[in-house]
């Protein structure tokens, strides 16, 4: 079996499973945020439920519109807060200790290798970087899981992606996943497990692995997953507060498809509007002026991302009339960046630093685009109107390209700064 099939089998209490099997599985964690949790709570009430199945396994993270941007978001967050208090949840993250959910949960050791996690957010697939089966579900399914501790799935087929060679300078996990989505298109892995492997993956940091698995959903994937190794163990050690199980794919496991890439040929990628598959290498971009750059989100708001951005911005200034918004993904990342002096670099460059929030990624706040404006962002989606006005444009990139673009006032790589 593949690693995905093994985790599903274990949580279904079965010895073996195969693609297409329908399973009822126990979940290790149920997640919801300030947008999706209110819907789940309403369904929870409608079902007549009184208690969640396990107060230690339901996690609520207000992170999209917090600190509250308006009355409506304040009301939503109050509903989540009241429910967490009523249910005496162990893991409710309020402003001051919160973070963007998909950076926060691994950081807190709440998701571990071998886990099965459902979240009322499509980018729940991020946790596959830890060797967990993690996938987004609707708010109604999340409510059912909160009540029963169970969920049902059809076992997905698995596509194996093998990345060989050594990454180019300034290229990272974001570029690998953008290149992959360009290759297979946004529906190329519909309801399939995307298993990332190869020497290039083994050499990636956890931050880069999270970026890759985060965007599996942008190719239609049911989940993205990377088998745990020494890098995973090092990350989990000291964070885990309970036992966990590392699974690996059997050598004779069957895949519906295998794709191989030579990463030495992959330069930093930029996804053009209005789909993540519309990618071009940085050398092919041309002269595209920008109004805003955003470095953050559940894709690229981790400490490694901020260090890369700082290495590009150090001693430089953001171009006139360009806004650079930097959003550390969690309070811990915020504190670490401040401790390392990254904030001084950002502030000297004339960037603005935000409290942890999803904010502009979904057109929430903290960087909404006006009609005709362009942004380059380290976020994961660039659909029409994603970051504001429907006639604005969002281009996706890694943190190095976003930082260099902010300095030059146009989409460009660090090489244009002589780096």
Mean pLDDT for the stretch of residues 328-336: 97
- Would you state the structure tokens that stand for residue 391, as one six-digit string? 């006639």
What is the distance in angstroms between the CA of the first residue and the CA of the last residue of the chain? 45
- Would you state the structure tokens that stand for residue 192, as one six-digit string? 């399939």
Phi/psi at 186 (nearest 5 deg)? -70, -10
Mean pLDDT for the stretch of residues 105-112: 97
d(CA 110, CA 324): 32
Alpha carbon of residue 53 to chain centroid: 27
- Write out pLDDT tens, residues 28-83: 999 999 999 999 999 999 999 999 999 999 999 999 999 999 999 999 999 999 99
97: pLDDT strictly greater than 90: no
Mean pLDDT for the stretch of residues 11-35: 98
Mean pLDDT for the stretch of residues 190-218: 98
Mean pLDDT for the stretch of residues 270-283: 97
Q: Which pLDDT does position 191 carry in this prediction?
A: 97
Q: Which pLDDT does position 96 carry in this prediction?
A: 87
CATH class of 3-261: alpha beta
Measured at the alpha carbon of residue 353, what is the angle toward residues 348 and 356, in degrees to the nearest 5? 155
- Write out pLDDT tens, residues 289-307: 999 999 999 999 999 999 9
As a CATH number, domain 269-417 is 3.30.499.10
| Residue-averaged pLDDT of the chain | 97
pTM of the model: 0.96
Using CA atoms of 132, 174, 250, 231 in order, give the dihedral in degrees to the nearest 10.
-70
Count Cβ atoms within 10 A of the Cβ of residue 78 and give its class: 0-12 exposed, 13-18 middle, 19 or more buried: middle
Same fold, 3-261 and 269-417: yes
- Would you state the structure tokens that stand for residue 14, as one six-digit string? 């079965």
Q: Which pLDDT does position 147 carry in this prediction?
A: 98
Domain ranges of the chain: 3-261, 269-417
Count Cβ atoms within 10 A of the Cβ of residue 23 and give its class: 0-12 exposed, 13-18 middle, 19 or more buried: middle
Q: How far lies 259's CA from each of 36, 159, 295, 358, in Å? A: 35, 8, 30, 32
d(CA 188, CA 113): 26
- Write out pLDDT tens, residues 217-247: 999 999 999 999 999 999 999 999 999 999 9
Q: Which pLDDT does position 277 carry in this prediction?
A: 96
Ranges of H-type helices in 185-280: 199-202, 206-214, 230-236
pLDDT > 70 fraction of the chain, expressed in percent and rounded: 100
């Amino acid at each position: 079996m593949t690693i995905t099939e093994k985790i599903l089998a274990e949580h279904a209490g079965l010895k073996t499973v195969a693609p297409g099997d329908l399973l009822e599985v126990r979940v290790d964690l149920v997640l919801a945020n300030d947008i999706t949790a209110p819907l789940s709570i309403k369904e929870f009430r409608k079902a007549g439920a009184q208690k969640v199945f396990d107060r230690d396994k339901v996690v609520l993270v207000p992170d999209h519109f917090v600190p509250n941007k308006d009355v409506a978001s304040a009301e939503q967050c109050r509903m989540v807060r009241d429910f967490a208090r009523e249910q005496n949840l162990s893991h409710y993250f309020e402003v001051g200790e919160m973070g963007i959910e998909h950076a926060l949960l691994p950081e807190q050791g709440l998701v571990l290798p071998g886990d099965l996690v459902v979240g009322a957010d499509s980018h729940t697939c991020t946790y596959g970087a830890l060797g967990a089966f993690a996938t987004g579900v609707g708010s109604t399914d999340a409510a059912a899981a909160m009540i029963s501790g169970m969920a049902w799935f059809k076992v997905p087929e698995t596509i194996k992606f093998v990345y060989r060679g050594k990454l180019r300078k300034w290229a990272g996990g974001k570029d690998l996943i953008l290149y992959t989505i360009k290759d297979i298109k946004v529906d190329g892995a519909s309801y399939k497990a995307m298993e990332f492997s190869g020497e290039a993956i083994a050499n990636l940091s956890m931050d880069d692995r999270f970026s890759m698995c985060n965007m599996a959903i942008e190719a239609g994937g049911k989940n993205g997953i990377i088998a745990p190794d020494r890098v995973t163990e090092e990350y989990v050690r000291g964070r885990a507060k309970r036992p966990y199980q590392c699974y690996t794919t059997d050598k004779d496991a069957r895949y519906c498809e295998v794709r191989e890439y030579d990463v030495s040929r992959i330069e930093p990628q930029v996804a053009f509007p209005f789909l993540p598959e519309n990618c071009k290498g940085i050398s092919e971009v041309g002269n595209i002026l920008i109004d805003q750059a955003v470095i953050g989100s559940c894709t690229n708001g981790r400490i490694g991302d901020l260090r890369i951005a700082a290495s590009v911005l150090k001693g430089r200034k953001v171009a006139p009339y360009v806004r650079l918004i930097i959003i550390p993904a969690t309070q811990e990342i915020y504190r670490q960046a401040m401790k390392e002096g990254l904030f001084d670099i950002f502030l000297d460059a004339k960037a603005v630093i935000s409290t942890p929030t999803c904010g502009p990624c979904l057109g929430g706040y903290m960087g909404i685009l006006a009609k005709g404006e362009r942004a380059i962002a380290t976020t994961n989606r660039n659909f029409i109107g994603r970051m504001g006005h429907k006639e604005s444009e969002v281009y996706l990139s890694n943190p190095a390209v976003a930082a260099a673009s902010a300095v030059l006032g146009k989409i460009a790589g660090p090489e244009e700064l002589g780096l």
